[in-house]
C-alpha cells in the first residue's frame, strides 16, 4: 500500500501531495490540514526514493518541527534523523557552525538572546559616547533588526544617511556588529542574514548545499522576511523544487520583518508555480467560520478564499458588551466555571487578548476563584535571573570570547570585584587583544591591581577546572553540577534562606532536570553547546505544555497555530485591536484585522467575544469603543448581549455595590446606561448631525469624495480635524467648521 493511501486526504490535498512538476504554493486557510499535507508530502517524497537527508523542511517553531518529524516517521516507519527539519534559525545556525569560518566565525559562536543584545548595545552606545536618551538601546536594536531582516549591512547604508540620526545609527550598527564578531556571537537576526552572506560570498558552499537538498519545503511561508526569502531562493535556484504552505490571512508578524508580499508574489518569483487552495476547514463550526470570513473579507491585500466546513452549525457566536474590564474578567471567569460544571476541561479553554497588559485582570479573578491557569508569553523560564546566571557560566565554557556572559557572572557570587575591577581587567584584555576571560586565563596576574587578584584568582580557578571537565568529555549534567559547586552559586542561595531564594533553587534544580533529560533521553549524542543553542532559540509556545485543568491565557500572537474547544476573545476595542498606534497606516490596520482573524479561528466549538465601555488605565477609567472590525461583521452572524448592567447573582450584586460605596469610586456614577458612549456597531438608530460625536472607525459619506472611514481625529470643537480614508484610496483631512455640512454619518457599511 502506498503512503498516500494511508492518509485521509480530500481531493485538493491529495493533488497537492502528488504534484511534482515544479514550484508549488499551497494557500492553506486556518484549520484546513496544512500540517497533514506537509507531512504527507515529505513521506511521499521519501517513498519516491529521496533520502531523508536530501529534504530541507523549515518550520517556525521547534514544537511544529517535532510534530512533523514524528508524523513522517509514523507514516514511513523509518527514522528520519538525517532529514533537515526545524526552524529557519536552528537550521541556519547548523549551517553556520559548519561553514562559518568562511565569514570569520568559529563553530563555538554564542547566540545572544534579547537581554544579551540589550546589554551589548548599552556598552556600544557608551563606547561611542552616544546618550541613550537620544538613541534608546531598544530603538537602536529595532532599527538594526529591520536592516538585518532585509540583508542590508551597514556598508550599504552609508550613502543613504540623510540625517544626523541616520549617520549615528550607521555608526552604532557598525560598532554593534564589530562587538558581536569580536565576542564570536550572533543575534537571532544574524543567523538568517549571515547564512545569506555566506552563500553569496562562498559560491562553492552554496553549490554544495544546493546539491545536497533535492527538495525544499517551508511551513507558514506568509511569516517569512526578506532574509528567509533570499535564503530559500538561493538554496532552490538550480532545481526549483520548492513546496511552500501558508495563509496570507494569518500574516501577523510584519512588526518583526515578515513580508506578506513573499507569499502573494510567489508565482512571480518562482515561474511555473502550481497553486493549490485549501478551504475546507476541519477545526471550527460553520457559525465560527462565517464570523471569521466576514471579519477578514474587508482586507484588500489577500488572495481570494473562503473557509467552509461540512460540520454542523454549532453553538452561536456571542459578542458581549460589559461595563468595564473588571466586569469583563468576572463574567469570563463565571462562564469558565459554568462550562467546567458541564464537563469542559480548563485546558480546552483559552482567553486570548491583544496585549500582555490585559492579562492582569484575568489573572486576579482566576486566582481569586481558585481556577488554575497557565499564562503563555510571560517571563520565560530561561529568562529568569538565576537561570541566565547558570547559563552564562556554561556559555563561557563553550565560548571564552563571550564578554556579555563574563560581565554577568564574574562577581556572582560576590568576590569583591566591582566596576573598577572590571575596568582593570578590560584594560588588560584590550592590550592583549583578547576577551575578558581569555585575558584572565592567559595573562600575567601581576598586571591586575593587587586588591583584585584574589577575586579574579577564584574566577580563573573555576573556569580552569570546568575546562578540564569538558576536555575529559564529562556529560553536560555533570559539568553543570560541577559549575554549581565550584562557583559557589548554590551555596549563595542556600545561605540566603528566604522564600525567594528557595524558589530560585527550585528553578535551578528544574534546569538540572531539563539538562539531564535532554542529555540522557533525547540527545545522548550531543553536547553542552547543542543544549545551549536549543534553549536560546526556544519560543514560548515550544515550552508550553497544555494541562487538562489549567485555563490557557495568551496574546493573539502566541495563539497562532493552536486550537481550543472554547475561546474567549476579549478586549475588542478600538485602540486595542486595532492598536492605537496603527490607526493611520492602512497596511498595519489590515495586519491587525488578520490578528483578529487568527484569534477567531482558534475556536473549535464555542467563541465568545467581548468589549467594554470603560477600561482602567493609568489609575483612571478611560472610555472604550467597540473595535471597528466588528462593524464589518453582519449582526445575523452572532448574538449580541448587552451585559453592561450585569453584576452577577443578586447576592454578588449587593456585595459589589457595597464595595464600590465603601471605596468611594468616583466613576461609579458615570457607569449608567445614559452616560455610556453610544455603540454604533449595535445601535442602528439614525443620528442627527447636531448630536453625532465622530469616532475613529466610523463610516462617513462626503458629498464630493463619497464613502470613507475615519482613521484619526485630532483637536476638539472648532479645531477638530478628521482624517478620512475614502473608498477610492484617497485620504483627506477635513476641518471641523466644514464637517457637519460636508459629512453625513452612517453606522453600517
In three-state secondary structure terms, 699 is strand
Q: How far is 75 from 90, CA to CA, in rounded Å?
A: 25
Report whether 42 contacts 84 (CB < 8 A): no
- Other CB atoms within 10 Å distance of the CB of residue 640: 14
Q: How far is 517 from 486, CA to CA, in rounded Å?
A: 23
Is 601 among the catalytic positions? no
Characterize the bridge pairing of strands 699-702 and 743-746. antiparallel
Q: Hey, what's the torsion of the CAs at 456, 459, 461, 465, to 10 degrees?
A: -160
Report whether 534 contacts 66 (CB < 8 A): no
Inter-helix orientation angle 188-201/226-236, to 10°: 30
Which one from 220, 223, 330, 540 is the annotated catalytic residue? Answer: 220
Q: How far is 384 from 304, CA to CA, in rounded Å?
A: 45
Is 34 among the catalytic positions? yes
- Other CB atoms within 10 Å distance of the CB of residue 402: 25
In three-state secondary structure terms, 259 is coil
Report whether 557 contacts 542 (CB < 8 A): no
Environment class of 19 (CB within 10 Å of its CB; exposed 0-12, middle 13-18, buried 19+):
middle
Q: Using alpha carbons, select from 601, 557, 28 the residue that is nearest to residue 292.
A: 601
In three-state secondary structure terms, 690 is coil
Q: How far is 599 from 567, CA to CA, in rounded Å?
A: 8
For residue 50, give Cα distances in angstroms to 3, 79, 456.
14, 14, 56
Length of the chain: 749
- Other CB atoms within 10 Å distance of the CB of residue 277: 16
Segments of 533-681 assigned E as strands = 551-555, 564-569, 603-617, 620-623, 639-642
| Long-range residue pairs from 334-342, CB within 8 A, at least 24 positions apart, any chain | 334/648, 335/568, 335/608, 336/366, 336/371, 336/551, 336/568, 337/369, 337/371, 339/566, 339/606
Which residues partner with 616 through β-bridges? 621
Q: How far is 661 from 672, CA to CA, in rounded Å?
A: 15
Which one from 35, 273, 546, 679 is the annotated catalytic residue? Answer: 35
Q: Which residues contact 618 (CB under 8 A, 6 or more apart)?
A: none
Q: How far is 218 from 258, CA to CA, in rounded Å?
A: 14
CA torsion sign for 106, 108, 114, 117 is: negative
Report whether 29 contacts 281 (CB < 8 A): yes
In three-state secondary structure terms, 598 is helix
H/E element, 309: none
Is 35 among the catalytic positions? yes
Q: How far is 713 from 129, CA to CA, in rounded Å?
A: 40
Q: How far is 193 from 185, CA to CA, in rounded Å?
A: 14
Environment class of 463 (CB within 10 Å of its CB; exposed 0-12, middle 13-18, buried 19+):
buried
Which one from 219, 325, 330, 608 is the annotated catalytic residue? Answer: 219
Which one from 117, 250, 358, 536 is the annotated catalytic residue? Answer: 250
DSSP line for 216-251: EEESSGGG--HHHHHHHHHHHTTT--EEEEE-GGG-
Give the max Cα distance, the chain: 86
Is 731 among the catalytic positions? no
Which residues partner with 374 through β-bridges? 552
Report whether 360 contacts 380 (CB < 8 A): no
Q: How far is 120 from 118, CA to CA, in rounded Å?
A: 5
Catalytic residues, which ones? Answer: 34-35, 219-220, 250, 602
Amino acid at each position: 500500500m502506498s503512503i498516500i493511501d494511508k492518509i485521509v486526504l480530500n481531493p485538493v490535498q491529495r493533488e497537492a501531495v502528488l504534484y511534482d512538476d515544479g514550484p508549488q504554493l499551497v494557500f492553506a486557510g486556518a484549520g484546513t490540514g496544512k500540517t497533514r499535507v506537509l507531512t504527507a508530502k515529505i513521506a511521499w517524497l521519501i517513498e519516491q526514493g529521496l533520502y531523508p537527508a536530501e529534504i530541507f523542511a523549515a518550520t517556525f517553531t521547534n514544537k511544529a518541527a517535532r510534530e512533523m518529524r514524528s508524523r513522517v516517521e509514523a507514516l514511513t516507519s523509518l527514522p528520519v534523523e538525517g532529514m533537515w527539519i526545524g526552524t529557519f534559525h536552528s537550521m541556519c545556525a547548523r549551517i553556520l557552525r559548519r561553514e562559518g569560518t568562511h565569514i570569520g566565525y568559529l563553530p563555538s559562536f554564542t547566540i545572544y538572546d534579547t537581554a544579551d543584545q540589550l546589554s551589548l548595545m548599552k556598552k556600544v552606545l557608551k563606547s561611542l559616547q552616544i546618550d541613550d536618551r537620544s538613541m534608546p538601546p531598544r530603538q537602536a536594536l529595532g532599527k538594526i533588526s529591520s536592516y538585518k531582516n532585509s540583508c542590508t549591512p551597514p556598508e550599504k547604508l552609508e550613502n543613504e544617511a540623510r540625517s544626523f540620526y541616520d549617520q549615528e545609527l550607521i555608526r552604532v550598527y557598525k560598532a554593534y556588529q564589530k562587538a558581536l564578531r569580536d565576542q564570536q556571537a550572533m543575534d537571532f537576526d544574524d543567523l538568517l542574514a549571515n547564512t545569506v552572506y555566506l552563500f553569496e560570498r562562498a559560491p562553492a558552499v552554496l553549490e554544495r548545499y544546493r546539491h545536497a537538498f533535492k527538495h525544499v519545503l517551508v511551513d507558514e511561508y506568509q511569516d517569512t522576511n526578506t532574509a528567509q526569502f533570499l535564503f530559500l531562493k538561493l538554496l532552490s535556484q538550480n532545481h526549483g523544487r520548492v513546496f511552500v504552505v501558508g495563509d496570507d490571512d494569518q500574516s501577523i508578524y510584519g512588526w518583526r520583518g515578515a513580508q506578506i508580499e513573499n507569499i502573494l508574489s510567489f508565482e512571480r518569483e518562482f515561474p511555473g508555480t502550481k497553486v493549490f487552495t485549501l478551504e475546507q476547514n476541519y477545526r471550527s463550526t460553520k457559525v465560527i467560520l462565517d464570523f471569521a470570513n466576514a471579519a477578514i473579507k474587508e482586507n484588500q491585500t489577500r488572495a481570494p478564499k473562503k473557509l467552509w466546513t461540512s460540520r454542523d452549525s454549532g453553538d452561536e457566536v456571542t459578542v458581549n458588551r460589559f461595563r468595564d474590564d473588571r466586569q469583563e474578567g468576572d463574567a469570563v471567569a463565571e462562564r469558565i466555571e459554568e462550562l467546567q460544571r458541564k464537563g469542559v476541561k480548563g485546558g480546552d479553554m483559552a482567553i486570548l487578548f491583544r496585549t500582555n497588559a490585559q492579562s492582569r485582570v484575568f489573572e486576579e479573578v482566576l486566582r481569586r476563584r481558585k481556577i488554575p491557569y497557565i499564562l503563555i508569553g510571560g517571563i520565560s523560564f530561561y529568562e529568569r535571573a538565576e537561570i541566565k546566571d547558570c547559563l552564562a557560566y556554561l556559555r563561557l565554557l563553550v565560548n571564552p570570547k563571550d564578554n556579555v556572559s563574563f560581565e554577568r557572572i564574574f562577581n556572582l557570587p560576590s568576590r569583591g570585584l566591582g566596576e573598577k575591577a572590571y575596568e582593570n581587567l578590560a584594560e588588560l584584555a584590550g592590550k592583549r587583544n583578547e576577551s575578558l576571560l581569555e585575558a584572565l586565563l592567559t595573562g600575567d596576574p601581576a598586571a591586575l591591581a593587587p586588591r583584585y587578584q584574589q577575586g579574579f584568582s577564584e574566577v580563573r580557578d573555576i573556569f580552569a577546572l570546568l575546562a578540564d571537565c569538558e576536555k575529559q568529555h564529562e556529560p553536560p549534567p555533570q559539568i553543570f553540577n560541577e559549575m554549581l559547586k565550584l562557583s559557589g552559586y548554590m551555596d549563595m542561595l542556600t545561605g540566603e534562606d528566604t522564600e525567594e531564594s528557595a524558589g530560585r533553587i527550585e528553578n535551578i534544580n528544574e534546569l538540572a532536570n531539563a539538562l539531564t533529560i535532554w542529555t540522557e533521553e533525547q540527545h545522548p549524542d550531543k553536547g553542552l553547546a547543542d543544549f545551549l543553542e536549543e534553549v536560546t532559540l526556544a519560543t514560548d509556545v515550544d515550552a508550553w505544555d497544555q494541562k487538562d485543568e489549567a485555563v490557557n491565557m495568551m496574546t493573539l500572537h502566541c495563539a497562532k497555530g493552536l486550537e481550543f474547544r472554547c475561546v474567549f476573545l476579549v478586549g475588542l476595542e478600538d485602540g486595542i485591536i486595532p492598536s492605537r498606534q496603527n490607526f493611520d497606516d492602512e497596511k498595519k490596520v489590515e495586519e491587525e484585522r488578520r490578528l483578529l482573524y487568527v484569534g477567531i479561528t482558534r475556536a473549535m466549538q464555542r467563541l465568545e467575544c467581548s468589549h467594554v465601555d470603560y477600561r482602567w488605565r493609568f489609575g483612571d477609567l478611560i472610555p472604550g469603543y467597540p473595535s471597528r472590525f466588528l462593524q464589518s461583521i453582519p449582526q445575523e452572524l452572532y448574538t449580541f448581549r448587552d451585559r453592561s448592567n450585569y453584576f452577577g447573582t443578586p447576592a454578588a450584586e449587593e456585595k459589589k455595590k457595597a464595595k464600590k460605596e465603601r471605596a468611594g469610586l468616583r466613576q461609579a456614577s458615570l457607569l449608567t446606561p445614559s452616560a455610556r458612549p453610544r455603540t454604533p456597531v449595535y445601535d442602528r438608530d439614525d443620528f442627527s448631525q447636531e448630536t453625532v460625536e465622530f469616532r475613529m472607525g466610523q463610516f462617513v459619506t462626503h458629498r464630493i469624495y463619497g464613502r470613507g472611514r475615519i482613521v484619526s481625529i485630532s483637536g476638539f470643537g472648532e479645531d477638530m480635524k478628521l482624517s478620512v480614508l475614502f473608498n477610492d484610496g484617497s485620504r483627506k483631512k477635513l476641518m471641523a467648521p466644514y464637517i457637519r455640512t460636508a459629512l453625513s454619518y452612517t453606522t453600517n457599511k
